Amino acid sequence: MKGTKTNPVIEMRDVTVAAMKNPDTIVAENVNWTVNSGDFWVIGGWHGSGKSDFMMTVGGLAAPKSGSYHLFSEEMPIFEEERLAQRLRLGLVFDGGQLFNRLTVAENIALPLQYHSDDSPEIINERVMSILEATELLPRANSTPGAIGRNWRQRAGLARAIALRPEILLVDNPLSGLDLRHANWWLGFLDSLFAGHPLLDKKPVTLVVTADDLRPWKDRAHQFAFLRDRKFSVLGDRAQIDAASDPLVKELLSGTAIEV
């Protein structure tokens, strides 16, 4: 593994996760999960299993319905101004990008830097240009999200999420709806972030990714889990996922439905 494990960066104990749009709907319960610095997790589950709601809670946009969640030993969610620096050590890439439609791609990427850094406009512009170039978004820098395809909106969401050089990156279903060329780009770029990309000062980032299909991640990620029927189950490492007998895991590895 390229990353180095130290202390836990994410710790969930007996957590219950509710749906963002309907807090009375439970997505997962009794979640006990630890993510260490340098981990590369992939969480599998079929569409509608609650992966996005789970990531919103991990990302601190919603509080657990019950239980405790700590990020870098700080209780989450973090909304207080004095603790914001801790929260900003984590970046979140939404499924579909979730960009601000009235802003250009470049302006979307610059936004977190303008709000959360003391850098001058010149330094911010230089940072944005470096990110645009590395993510191949430079030709679309002055376009609004509605004028570009989902492939590029998804990529722009990633570009915005890494602007503040996070130590943990949550990526929700990044390969959904992408053609093969864009999917391969994502796999390669996330590999480079995990190894230590120049955009993040060559510091390896801890990754947590959700996926409908485990096949593209099987030889990349190091830890696996899946979400089904309100249960979050840790599968373990690559060898353990190969040996897993659960029908859902076999489905996620084969891409075909199995009668259960």
The mean per-residue pLDDT over the stretch 109-133 comes to 96
Q: How confident is the model at residue 248 (pLDDT cuts 50, 70, 90)?
A: low
Examine the fold and report which residue of 128, 155, 182 is the final residue of a domain before the chain moves on.
Answer: 155
Has residue 251 got a pLDDT over 70?
A: no
Q: Could you tell me if 71 and 105 lie in one domain?
A: no
| Least confident span in 3-17, 54-68, 129-143 | 3-17
Has residue 257 got a pLDDT over 90?
A: no
Q: Could you tell me if 120 and 216 lie in one domain?
A: no
Q: Could you tell me if 108 and 151 lie in one domain?
A: yes
- For 193-211, what is each residue's pLDDT tens digit? 999 999 999 999 999 999 9
- CATH code for position 39: 3.40.50.300
Q: Could you tell me if 77 and 188 lie in one domain?
A: yes
Note down the domain range covering 61: 8-89+166-254
Q: Could you tell me if 111 and 201 lie in one domain?
A: no
The mean per-residue pLDDT over the stretch 98-118 comes to 95
Instruction: Please provide the DSSP assignment of 182-207 as one string.
Output: HHHHHHHHHHHHHH--GGGTTPPPEE
Q: Could you tell me if 180 and 145 lie in one domain?
A: no
- For 52-105, what is each residue's pLDDT tens digit? 999 999 999 989 999 999 999 999 987 888 788 888 999 999 998 899 999 999
Q: Could you tell me if 29 and 141 lie in one domain?
A: no
Alpha carbon distances (Å) from 54 to 202, 209, 215, 226: 29, 11, 21, 11
Has residue 124 got a pLDDT over 50?
A: yes
At residue 5, the pLDDT reads 47
Beta strands across the sheet bearing 223-228? 74-75, 66-71, 8-18, 26-36, 231-236, 223-228, 40-44, 206-211, 168-171, 90-93
At residue 16, the pLDDT reads 96
The tally of domains found in the chain comes to 2
Has residue 218 got a pLDDT over 80?
A: yes
Alpha carbon distances (Å) from 67 to 31, 59, 70, 99: 9, 16, 10, 31
User: In this structure, is residue 207 part of a structural domain?
Assistant: yes
Place of tokens 């302006």: 107
